[in-house]
Structure 1
Amino acid sequence: MIAPNCTSARTSLLTALLLLIPILLGACSTSLKEPLSITAAPDVIRSAARYESAYVLGPGDQLEIAVDRMPELSRSATVRPDGMVTLPRSGDIAVAGLTPMAAAQAVRQRLLARVRDPQVSVAVANPRDNKVFVAGEVNRPGAVPLRDAPTAAQALILAGDAGKSAALSNVALIRLDAQGHLTVHILRSSARGHAGMLLTLQNVPLRPGDIIVVQESGGARFARFLQNYVNAPLGGLSALMAPYVQLRLLQEIDR
């Protein structure tokens, strides 16, 4: 015979948790409902503008540095994490943050102390692509090349499409605007279902650095709540009470 106290404790805990459902659901309902805009940090603005006017060198760029009629001074070099490249007769030169033309001028200035009127050119062998980013309830979150995904629908498909817990009519687009503000645009679909979401997103052109966030549906949040706040605690209570219940069963058998 199972002890009444054990059953009463489990019933009381379940009742308390059920009473807390509206409160806890409200606490975990954090998906964006209204447009939001905040001022972007200066470093974010500079980073986003890196490809808009001219390519800016950065760590990892592979450079072909050529000095006209002087092959012994020409060199292939990779920009190091510290932003430097090392060249013959020039030593370390800081090129990160410079355009290829400005880097060529920096190399020329360094060579002028040793070489008469050097003509220098710098080319990037592995220019980096503009990217957009897809996060949230998708199957493969991460970066997507902008050249392969000019619209939000195409970026979503390249990210593995929306997951089973996605809110198909509530997708957010985070973008840096011309006034230096990071703005969240809520892309709501007037058509229903998966096709309706893709139809809406296909009409949204993307820009470098855009972030698409596929938000979690209310049903998925509720299922997660049940697992985190109800099923798991009750499972832990059952494991805790199991030795006591077994002891009472043995006592009943011995009688």
Structure 2
Amino acid sequence: MAEFALSTRRLLSIVAPLLVALSGCAPVYVYDSANYAKEFDPRAHEYVIGVGDSLQINVWRMADLSSGALVRPDGIITLPLVGDVFVAGSTPSQVRAAITKRLSEFVKDETAVVTIAVTSVNSYRFVVSGNVAHAGIFTSTYYVSVSEALAMAGGPNQFASTDQILLIRMDAPGKFRHIPINYDSIVSREHPEQDLVLKAGDTVYVP
């Protein structure tokens, strides 16, 4: 009897997932478990420089050290005297501090006053995939919310499960998190807090 019970349990462990798959039941997401108010909002933080962005670096009273720079695919810019500086993933304040430190190795008599300006934003990219009219990689020169990203992709198509959208966000290299989004609640203004502003690298998936 014990052997029969064991084999039955094994059979159920194999058959049960198949029955769920064949039934076509969609996964259930618990929206109350997400703390939308605490999600990262890039509008409330200093801009993070990325590949493809253009910078203008000015060194006060040192015009020969001032230069425009394009962030290369390796995340590096090249400046007069200083040479290569890795800037991707850093804020302008962090880049200013790094360049100032590097310049101090060459400029001994006075403190170099460095300013950094992001003159062209090209690294703000995100993906909209799944059941939308035009899935793909999108760019913008301004921050975009979930609903705006979906509009850029032509909106959900007739097969979309608009109440089960996922915002896939990378919190750390190789560490992704799925944030449930109910687009119907955004449109109805029942839960506008779910219309999160996207970070560069986010993916909006419409099942």
TM-score in same-fold range (> 0.5): yes
Structure 1, 59-68 or 48-57: larger mean CA deviation: 48-57
For residue 161 of structure 1, the aligned residue among 152, 155, 158 is 155
**CA-atom RMSD in angstroms:** 4.1
Between the aligned partners of 1:33 and 1:119, the Cα distance in structure 2 is 55
Residue in 2 aligned with 1:34? Answer: 29
CA 1:206–1:133: 2 relative to 1, 3 Å: farther
CA-CA distance at 1:171 after TM superposition = 3.2
Between the aligned partners of 1:211 and 1:163, the Cα distance in structure 2 is 17
Residue 173 of structure 2 is aligned to residue 173 of structure 1: no
CA 1:28–1:145: 2 relative to 1, 3 Å: farther
Is the CA contact 1:187–1:201 (under 8 Å) kept in the aligned structure 2?
no
Runs (5+) with no aligned partner, structure 2: 1-17, 33-39
Is the CA contact 2:53–2:71 (under 8 Å) kept in the aligned structure 1?
yes
Between the aligned partners of 2:183 and 2:103, the Cα distance in structure 1 is 58
CA-CA distance at 1:136 after TM superposition = 1.3
CA deviation vs aligned residue, 1:162-208 (integer Å, no higher than 9, x gap)? 2233345x4323365x9x98344262859xxxxxx953688442222
Residue in 2 aligned with 1:199? Answer: 188
CA-CA distance at 1:74 after TM superposition = 0.9
Between the aligned partners of 2:176 and 2:46, the Cα distance in structure 1 is 22
For residue 57 of structure 1, the aligned residue among 49, 68, 75 is 49
Q: Please give the TM-score of this superposition, normalised by the length of structure 1.
A: 0.52
Is the CA contact 1:151–1:202 (under 8 Å) kept in the aligned structure 2?
no
Residue 133 of structure 2 is aligned to residue 139 of structure 1: yes
Between the aligned partners of 1:30 and 1:75, the Cα distance in structure 2 is 58
Residue 198 of structure 2 is aligned to residue 208 of structure 1: yes
Higher relative helix content? 1
Is the CA contact 1:132–1:207 (under 8 Å) kept in the aligned structure 2?
no
Secondary structure at the aligned position of 1:85 is classed as strand
Is the CA contact 2:168–2:205 (under 8 Å) kept in the aligned structure 1?
no
Report the AA paired with residue 206 of structure 1: L
Residue in 1 aligned with 2:81? Answer: 89
For residue 111 of structure 1, the aligned residue among 98, 103, 109 is 103
Report the AA paired with residue 207 of structure 1: V
Secondary structure at the aligned position of 1:166 is classed as coil
Between the aligned partners of 2:160 and 2:27, the Cα distance in structure 1 is 14
CA-CA distance at 1:138 after TM superposition = 0.9
Aligned length: 174
Q: Please give the TM-score of this superposition, normalised by the length of structure 2.
A: 0.62
Between the aligned partners of 1:144 and 1:202, the Cα distance in structure 2 is 26
Between the aligned partners of 2:94 and 2:197, the Cα distance in structure 1 is 26
**Identity percentage of aligned residues:** 29
CA 1:158–1:92: 2 relative to 1, 3 Å: closer
Is the CA contact 1:57–1:99 (under 8 Å) kept in the aligned structure 2?
yes
Q: Which of these two proteins has the greater Rg computed from alpha carbons?
A: 1
Between the aligned partners of 1:175 and 1:148, the Cα distance in structure 2 is 17
